[in-house]
């Protein structure tokens, strides 16, 4: 079983990541994954957050990007992050780690993170167990 780092907007989309954990625990679902993403990092120090995220990303085989409404919105700390926001940082680090990248848009109208463009990501057509499993297996 491969490790999956889940990149998502914690403030707005965390319930989707938590739903995947519920799928994993539910015997009626054929969804299994070892979550390699970071739990909420309890630090305001951007350097510490970047180091913790990088460690989790480097330990993963896949990065699953959940593209919600605010996935490409500029973060107030974008200069310190070095990217428009944390999702863009995570995708850039995932590329450096040679992770296979899978993405799913929660709505077709949502803008993909800049760093996700042109990386050859495998896309899930919707946020559902079968679609995400298929995209992970095709990555």
Q: In this predicted model, what pLDDT tens digit does every residue of 26-41 receive, in sequence order?
A: 777 766 665 555 555 5
pTM, to two decimals: 0.89
Give the Å distances, CA to CA, from 91 to 95, 97, 100, 112.
Answer: 6, 10, 10, 11
Instruction: Output the pLDDT for position 10.
Output: 86
Reduce the DSSP state of residue 123 to 3 states and report it.
strand
Instruction: Output the pLDDT for position 50.
Output: 92
Give the Å distances, CA to CA, from 98 to 38, 41, 43, 56.
Answer: 18, 23, 27, 13
Q: Tell me the per-residue pLDDT of 37-70, one tens digit each, with 9 for 90 and over.
A: 555 555 678 998 899 899 989 998 999 999 999 9
The yes-or-no verdict on residue 74 having pLDDT over 90 is yes
């Amino acid at each position: 079983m491969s490790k999956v780092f889940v990149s998502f907007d914690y403030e707005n989309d965390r319930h989707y990541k938590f739903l995947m954990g519920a799928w994993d625990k539910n015997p009626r679902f054929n969804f299994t994954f070892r979550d390699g993403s970071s739990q909420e990092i309890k630090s305001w120090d951007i350097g510490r957050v970047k180091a913790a995220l990088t460690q989790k990303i480097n330990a993963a085989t896949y990065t699953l990007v959940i593209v919600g409404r605010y996935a490409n919105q500029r973060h107030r700390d974008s200069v310190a992050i070095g990217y428009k926001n944390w999702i863009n940082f995570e995708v850039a680090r995932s590329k450096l780690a040679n992770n296979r990248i899978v993405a799913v848009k929660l709505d077709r109208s949502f803008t993909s993170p800049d760093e996700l463009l042109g990386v050859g990501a495998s896309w899930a057509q919707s946020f559902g167990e079968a679609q995400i499993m298929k995209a992970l297996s095709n990555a």
